[in-house]
Structure 1
């Protein structure tokens, strides 16, 4: 019988461990902005293109509405976004940044650099890592949809 693989040999655990450590670092850095990591991700998408429907935000962030709605409610409570129903179809909800939400972008500009510096990787290594992770995600999503259909 072949040797059983150890925890340290598992790619899944390396990804899990790195994700937890990264999220913990983001938590500490984002505390200064009064944002959680998921809220920060929502803000990143809106800073990139303000005025998105909840459905579009969910697609971009790969979150369902049950997860996204509480995030948006909290961001609205913080005065960073506003939600409004579209007149032509009240089932559709548009999310826009408030002036405070737009202003927060300037305070968050150093977040990526701080996180990058903490990794100990140089820019080239970070780019390669990001590209590899995107490729893994895309491949696994394709594989998942093929196995569930």
Structure 2
């Protein structure tokens, strides 16, 4: 986390932009979003919509709250995403018969068919990142550990 000329975090070095973990994560996410925007354009999905579809491709017919928990999103952020996916004909939302407060989200035939087209997305991300599957796996593991620690603090 230190710049190349320093290994200590004291004084002014602690406040250098390049020494901020948050900025490294933020700027990396911006770069990653550019890659996804390009790769998802043909599918007509935004990156957040793609994440919702990934959740549903893993497990169809889940509640809005389950999707939110999986993606670390609140319902105020998630609901507009779901409405746009529903308008695009990729998902259907239905109130649960057992508890009308819960909304069940399910893939439509078009949503299920889109999974086949999405198969090229991880390959495109890997090419853009110029890393092996093993390297990507290690980065995912490290970032997941960081997220867990931050959520626990």
| TM-score for the superposition, normalised by structure 1 | 0.93
Alpha carbon RMSD of aligned pairs, Å? 1.1
How many residues end up aligned between the 2 structures?
143
Q: In 2, distance between residues paired with 1:128 and 1:22?
A: 17
Aligned CA distance change for structure 1 residues 88 and 2 (closer, same or farther; 3 Å): closer
Q: In 1, distance between residues paired with 2:104 and 2:121?
A: 27
Superposed, 1:60-79 pairs within 5 Å as 60-79=70-89
Aligned-residue offset at 1:134: 0.2
2:65 corresponding residue in structure 1: 55
Q: In 2, distance between residues paired with 1:10 and 1:119?
A: 21
| TM-score for the superposition, normalised by structure 2 | 0.90
Are 2:31 and 1:21 equivalent residues in the alignment? yes
Structure 1 unaligned residues grouped into runs of 5+: 144-149
> Any conservation in 1 of the 2:68–2:74 contact (CA below 8 Å)?
yes
Aligned-residue offset at 1:3: 3.1
- List per-residue Cα deviations over 1:28-70 (Å, max 9, x = no partner): 1101100000000000000000000111111111100000000
1:118 to 111, 128, 143: 128
Runs of 4+ in 1 over 2 A off after TM superposition: 1-5
Q: In 2, distance between residues paired with 1:68 and 1:112?
A: 23
